[in-house]
Amino acid sequence: MQVYKAPLKDYKFLIKDFLNSSTTDLILNNSDIDQSDLEMILDEAAKFCEEELLPINQSSDSEGCIFNKGKVATPKGFIKAYKNFVENGWQGISVEKKYGGQNLPYFVNMFLDEMISSANMSFGLYPGLTSNAIDAIEKSASNEIKDLYLPKLSTGEWTGTMNLTEPQCGTDLGLIKTMASPQANGSYKITGTKIFITCGEHDLSENIIHLVLAKTPNSPEGIKGISMFVVPKIIPDEEGNLGEKNSLECSSIEKKMGINASPTCVMHYNEAKGWLVGDLHKGMKAMFIMMNGARLMVGVQGLGMAEISYQSALYYAKERLQGRSLKETKNPDKPADPILVHPEIRKNLLKIKTLTEGIRGLMAWTGLQVDISRIEKDKFKKQHSDDWIALMTPILKSFSTEVGCEASSLAVQIYGGHGYIRDHGIEQLVRDARIAPIYEGTNGIQALDLVGRKMPMHTGRLLKSFFHVVKEYLEKNSFNYNLSEFIPPLAKSFGRLQQITSFIALKGLNDPDEAAGPATDYLKMFSLVAIGYVWTQYAEISYNKGKEDPEGFYKAKIESGKYYMSKILPETGSLMSSILSGAKYYNEFDDKYFDSGFAL
């Protein structure tokens, strides 16, 4: 069965102990709340996710969305849940107050997104995409567009989407064919077809606001000719009152492997009215604001799927009686011991647990940098935060979603045959999690972004935002006796990462394929080291809190960290060996050999 309770203790640990307390206090004060307010908000969010979203997760997956003559009906329970979601103000929690939001910190929104993703990933796509649309409009649009659209989006009365992909192009957006023809009144007529548009049509909100990439007549070739437009499903007047329906339609929804309670739409724009967002031919700049936010959101989805997979698998491992402990019988009064006693089960659970908790810390720290960047006046401190965010976005999007997939697969393995059948809802987690490494830029693209763009950017300045911090931490704690099982493995893996970074950078100067080839291995290696750094900090905090630990929370952190440092972090060694062997074994593999053994 799907089991989930929001990890509130972990959130409170991150806020009180892990994140810089003086900085979080400053950010909370900027939002007019304190620690107790924040805890109450998280408690209420947990209640909503556990009591309203989780109970309809399996049923909504089975029912799916229903398409009929251009209309999409969401599964039973979604309209009520969404109504409660928006009435309680969750949509606009991180939006500025002048647009009807609550101006809460971004890292708090990350916690909310994780809870929603764990409880009902499909549901989370509706408000998640709206949040990203809000961000793009807020940072790029004219005041007129902001004043018209942001108040309704912030309350959730209207929802938002992003329209990038077309039948002939996905990642290579320079190939788009959708056209925007300028009109005398300052609007544009948008004509074209977009595919894979998540939540492009549904019955949860009274209006849907599409952000659409298109080219204008005689625009430059490739991505330099792309502009972004706001295209409402129903055209509002200047006061926000709904008027005539725009000339756009959903022609079908996809039949998918997972996230079945969210519609993935084919959208046709038939000279639909749209308005320019930002500057002409600067659409990619505006859209990247939305996409980068979406990539962090997808990383949070991976984290959320890993958490519910862990909790569900742990529940089953405690309940399922099968075999006896090889060392000694644990339940002599019962016919068998719970499968939790078996080493393989324990290993799998600890792998999910330590990766999930480590990613959560890295995610929270990155969210904090978003908040610092928003309020910081010192340009160098702001730059450091921006560099950290840019560096960590592809890492968190990719590695977190890979962990979400692995965690759900391990949960099925722990459930055995009961995990493979639909009744328990565990196979749904596998299907839902699998989209996350694909959309918002596949994980392979994220790895290429890390190696091809982030690594050389500003002569390596982005890498320094991480490397210098870890180097200083290792030097500061080199003689910390408490961390004797943490500092040496972290230092060893960090040294490997530094060496491989130089190796790839030098190889790439002569042959770009030699840099691109090991990109995914490099991203994983970077991720493992970054999480090792997080776990070492967890351990340092937990040792210092040892006397304040009646429930064993900090002791559990220390022991979990030891598992990560000794059993997972050493994978950096095999990754290093693989990268050093070079890319020739696949780059120089003759194409005809792929077909050997069968005829095409």
Q: Which residues are known catalytic residues?
A: 440
Please, are residues 182 and 188 in contact by the beta-carbon 8 Å criterion? yes
Burial of 591 (0-12, 13-18, 19+ CB in 10 A): exposed
CB 366 within 8 A of CB 388: yes
User: Taking Cα atoms as reference points, which of 511, 512, 396, 409 lies closest to residue 443?
Assistant: 396
Residue 561's closest CA among 456, 498, 464, 487? 487
d(CA 5, CA 115): 9
DSSP 107-131: HHHHHHHHHHHHHHHHHHHHHHHHH
Q: Which residue has the tokens 């299907």?
A: 431
Q: How many CB atoms lie within 10 A of CB 396?
A: 26
Confirm if 319 and 419 have CB atoms less than 8 A apart: no
Quick one: residue 225, left, alpha or beta (phi over 0 = left, psi -120 to 50 = alpha)?
alpha
Q: Give the start-end residues of each E strand in 83-185.
A: 158-163, 179-182
Distance CA 321, CA 52 (A): 31
The Cα–Cα gap between 124 and 300 comes to: 11
Q: Is 215 left (phi over 0), alpha (psi -120 to 50) or beta?
A: beta
- Helix boundaries (H) for 376-486: 379-415, 417-420, 426-433, 443-449, 461-476
Q: Are 542 and 558 in contact (CB under 8 A)?
A: yes
- Name the CA dihedral angle for 300, 304, 307, 308, rounded to a multiple of 10 degrees: -170
Proportion of the chain in helix, strand, coil states, percent, rounded to 5: 60, 10, 25
| Amino acid type, 290 | M
In the chain, what is the straight-line distance between the N-terminal and C-terminal CA atoms, in Å? Answer: 44
The phi-psi region of residue 220 (left if phi > 0; otherwise alpha if psi is between -120 and 50; otherwise beta) is beta
Return left, alpha or beta for 323; rule: phi > 0 is left, psi -120 to 50 is alpha, else beta.
Answer: left
